[in-house]
Amino acid sequence: MSKAQQGTKFRMTLALPVGAVMNCADNSGAKNLYVIAVHGIGARLNRLPAAAAGDMVVASVKKGKPELRKKVMPAVVIRQRKPWRRRDGVFLYFEDNAGVIVNPKGEMKGSAITGPVAKECADLWPRIASNSSVVV
């Protein structure tokens, strides 16, 4: 568990396997993020590690500012298109897959987030919750 992550993460339907490309929803200058690895996921034969909203991933920038491109950096998934079930019984999903670039301590590189953030992510990452405009 990362230093900035607070509380425990509930089991969610995994949406973003290794190799997935998601939008970058902050103002750091990156346009999209390519998932390289998922933080804290072990290995199983023939199974790709996958992430859900609230998970920290290792990602690289495929489109964006030249100083950000082709560098490996941590990111946190804030939205996922795959539906998941909450404890109260509702199924929830977003219009796109999106993440924000963070440092290893969980502090955001950008200062603003475009679009909504999943409550599961906002509960775990207080720095992301404070920069988000809408938490769903």
pLDDT computed for residue 4 by the predictor:
74
Cα separation, 33 vs 21, in Å, equals 6
Listing DSSP states for the chain in one string gives --SS--S-PPP----EETT-EEEE-BSSSEEEEEEEEETT---BTTB--EE-TT-EEEEEEEEE-TTTBT-EEEEEEEE-SS-EE-TTS-EE--SS-EEEEB-TTS-BSSS-B-SEE-HHHHHH-HHHHHH-SEE-
pLDDT computed for residue 7 by the predictor:
78
In our burial notation (b when 16+ CB lie closer than 10 A, e otherwise), range 50-89 reads bbbbbbbbbbbbeebeeebeeeebbbbbbbbeeebeeeee
Domains recognised in the chain with CATH numbers: 16-135 (2.40.150.20)
Model's pTM, two decimal places? 0.93
60 closest CA partner among 7, 18, 110:
18
- Per-residue pLDDT in tens (0 to 9) along the chain, 136 residues: 566 778 788 899 999 999 999 999 999 999 999 999 999 999 999 999 999 999 999 999 999 999 999 999 999 999 999 999 999 999 999 999 999 999 999 999 999 999 999 999 999 999 999 999 999 9
Residue 114, φ and ψ in degrees, nearest 5: -95, 135
